[in-house]
Chains A and B, each alone.
Chain A
């Protein structure tokens, strides 16, 4: 069979997918770019060309800078915590103990729990009047009075991060565990014979095997965390006093609550650009890690 026919046939087989992807991703993305240069409303007026007005307005607003720093803080802290907890859990699950298979199986539960259910569950746990956290801490005499964990700007973001970590660290643990199981036993045994302590064994023997898969997990989790919407929307809607508002929530408010499609679109593209820059930088890092680990 000739190469040209093979290629033509491949394109034909891909055609349905590509048509749908252009319709639901390609066209909307292009249209978002167009909208971002107009003052269009969500419903009704098509809007006029306004140049870069939306961009300058959005980039210079204090809302944007504050939201950007909230999102960055959320992403950095939750992903870092998930990585550390995930690796620690994986090291534990790689030890031999009775019930290990069951515990490994349990790790899938938080991952499988729908994000909205997770958010609802934690919202109930943090409830200021009847929540389990207040009850437990009071009964243990760690706090005197019930607190509004999600109602105080000082604790709301931290409370969200805990809920997000609980759902996502098991995934990191499962990825790290799979990588740990690929470490040849004789290498760790040899390091032990050579007198390497636990820290050195982790640093020089085990970590090189973990680096690649962990980098992939780190990239994907960071991108996810930067785009975060669901868990915050269900738990706090960005409040109190906008202290937990993420970039995605800001876009939602601009484009859908205030129906300003034009400026909402420009904000959405700024977020997209940030995520892309992050992803490209990370991809370079992954390639470097993969190169040095090999």
Chain B
């Protein structure tokens, strides 16, 4: 074993503290801004810690009183939940049979490769016809329309994850059930899907994160509270004439909370998913 000198140990701890500070400082500041009175945030020299913590902005944003900042925020929160939920459900329903088919019948795998290669396409390459198409179908500014478009991002990714998941389930187990007379769907229900449940869960969480994060299509295809998602609402706040920066920060904290919690709870699964293919930048 390598002998560690005290100097080296001190160096390691110094770097670790630096890294922790780099990661945490911006996040901590976002939270501090959200609970600092507006006067503290405008003070010069800046007050780094509020004299009295003020959580009122959270109540303000989560209230549903008509025409308040809260009404717009809660509407976008609901839209984000609906779009992410629908798009994820649809992506999983498409990905399970397709992923299984490619895993068990490698000769059709090239079609999945083509689907995955679309990851390279910049969304701008699809945006104009998608805009015209949605407009034609009357699905602009509509959560169903946006969820459908999100499948361009979610479906290739979940299918690829499900395919690798099914690869790790031995096909002999399925073959045994089929010899005993079970049909394909019965075999899935009894054998394959219970074994694949963790992969389905990981794929679904990844899909939710991707949908929650999406901004470009939401910016193009939504225009008011009926469909605007959280990312668009926050960009509006950040680019608008809001004088209370604490309110913008509060919206940021609330929007970040679900994915950050998912990230922390699912850390192990997410990291193994990320490192196995390194997808999602």
Q: Are B98 and A14 in contact (CB under 8 A)?
A: yes
Contact A29 B121 (CB under 8 A): yes
Taking a contact as CB atoms under 8 Å apart, the answer to whether A256 and B19 are in contact is no
CA distance A220 to B120 in the complex (A): 9
User: In the complex, what's the smallest C-beta–C-beta distance from B204 to chain A, in angstroms?
Assistant: 16
**In the bound complex, what is the Cα–Cα distance between A251 and B279 (angstroms)?**
25
A80 within 8 A of B: no
Complex interface: chain B residues within 8 A of A168 (CB): 281
Q: How far is the CA of A255 from the CA of B206 in the complex (A)?
A: 31
The one of B20, B112, B130 that contacts A28, using a Cβ cutoff of 8 Å: B130
Among B104, B259, B271, find the residue whose CB has the most chain A CB atoms closer than 10 A: B271
**What string of 1s and 0s marks CB contacts (under 8 Å) between B89-104 and chain A?**
0000111011011101
> Which residues of chain A are near B255, meaning CB under 8 Å?
114, 116-117
* Assembled-state Cα–Cα distance A139/B220 (Å): 42
CB of B124 within 8 Å of the partner chain = yes
A14-B101, A275-B122 known; A121+B30 contact, CB < 8 A? yes
With contact pairs A105-B264, A108-B271 given, residues A120 and B238 touching in the complex (Cβ less than 8 Å): yes
For A3, the closest partner residue in chain B by CB is B107
Q: Do the beta carbons of A170 and B23 come within 8 Å of each other?
A: yes
Cβ–Cβ < 8 Å partners of A178 in chain B: 271-272, 275
Interface readout for B237-281 with A: 1 if CB under 8 Å, 0 if not? 111000001001100100110011011100100111011011101
Task: Please encode chain A, from 144 to 178, with 1 for each CB lying within 8 Å of some chain B CB and 0 for all others.
Answer: 00000000000000000000001010110011001
The contact size tier of chain B is 35 or more
Q: A124–B97 contact, CB under 8 A?
A: no
Is the pair B213, A115 in contact by a Cβ cutoff of 8 Å? yes
Residues of B within 8 A of A (CB): 1-2, 9, 12-13, 15-16, 19-20, 22-24, 26-27, 29-30, 33, 41-42, 44-46, 48, 93-95, 97-98, 100-102, 104-105, 107-108, 111-112, 115, 118-133, 135, 148-149, 151-152, 155-156, 159, 184, 209, 212-213, 215-216, 219-220, 230-231, 234-235, 237-239, 245, 248-249, 252, 255-256, 259-260, 262-264, 267, 270-272, 274-275, 277-279, 281
Residue numbers of A with Cβ under 8 A of B are: 6-7, 9-11, 13-14, 16-18, 20-21, 24-25, 27-29, 31-32, 35, 42-43, 89, 92, 95, 97, 99-100, 103, 105-117, 119-125, 127, 129-130, 132, 135, 138-139, 166, 168, 170-171, 174-175, 178-179, 189, 192, 213, 216-217, 220-221, 223-224, 226-227, 229-230, 233-234, 237, 247-248, 251-252, 255-256, 261, 264-265, 268-269, 271-272, 275-276, 279
